[in-house]
Homo-oligomer: A and B are copies of this chain.
Amino acid sequence: MSEDPRPRRRQARGERRISQLLQAAADVFCANGYTAASTNAIAREAKVSPGTLYQYFPNKEAIAIELGGRLIHQMRETHGQVFTPENLSLPLPELIDAVLDPMVEFNCANPAFLALMHGSEVPGRIAEEHDELHASLLSQVRETIRAQAVPPLSPEELDRVADMAFAVFKGGLALIVAAPEGPVRDAAVAELKKVMLRYLSPIVGGAGPGTDPAAPAPAAL
């Protein structure tokens, strides 16, 4: 609750150590989970002594807080550029590309994000921030679907569809990040896009079977 009036002068070396420690923490959290990750292991991974670690973080929880905070911040920047007014009125296939691609890229580049956000073992502060982010993302998804839905959905339906679209995305995302980098992962991304497109098409396209009423056997790609 109290601001600290002495913001602790940091030298460049200190900032570097912090990044180094957070990177090490990300690796260890990712490999073993939050609870099983020991602060000594994090320090060892960062090639520093336990004492040095505690020079920059008051306790283990603070490490997760800071790491989670930075990841959430990056994620917010990512999805801030994703749900733009222009994207909002894009045709569905392009909209799905525009939304999924950055999300997939971020989560593949930062596996610690999912590891930290998912466990029920994480300290309460992280869980709170994650809930906020989740709610924020969800409302963006909801507004996007609302903007696209023809005819308009009832509020209850809108909630259900947004919740399910997000949950399904998360399920597919887990498959994608688990896939080996390369063509296999790309194919998985394409497949998830198919799921989303087929699920949402009837909602945006009125009663039609798909967004593209042309060729009955598209089977492209």
A202 proximity list for chain B (CB < 8 A): 198
Partner of A174, one of B35, B170, B192: B170
Within 8 A of B (CB), among A150-179: 156, 160-161, 163-164, 167-172, 174-175
User: Which residue of the partner chain, among B160, B167, B172, B216, contacts A187 with CB atoms under 8 Å?
Assistant: B160
Interface string of A186-221 (1 = CB under 8 A from B): 011001101100110110000111100000110000
Q: How many copies does the complex hold?
A: 2
10 A-B pairs whose Cβ atoms sit less than 8 Å apart in the complex? A164-B175, A164-B195, A167-B172, A167-B175, A168-B168, A170-B174, A171-B172, A171-B174, A195-B195, A207-B217
Given contacts A36-B121, A115-B120, 8 further A-B contacts (CB under 8 A): A31-B120, A160-B188, A163-B188, A164-B191, A167-B171, A168-B192, A170-B171, A198-B202
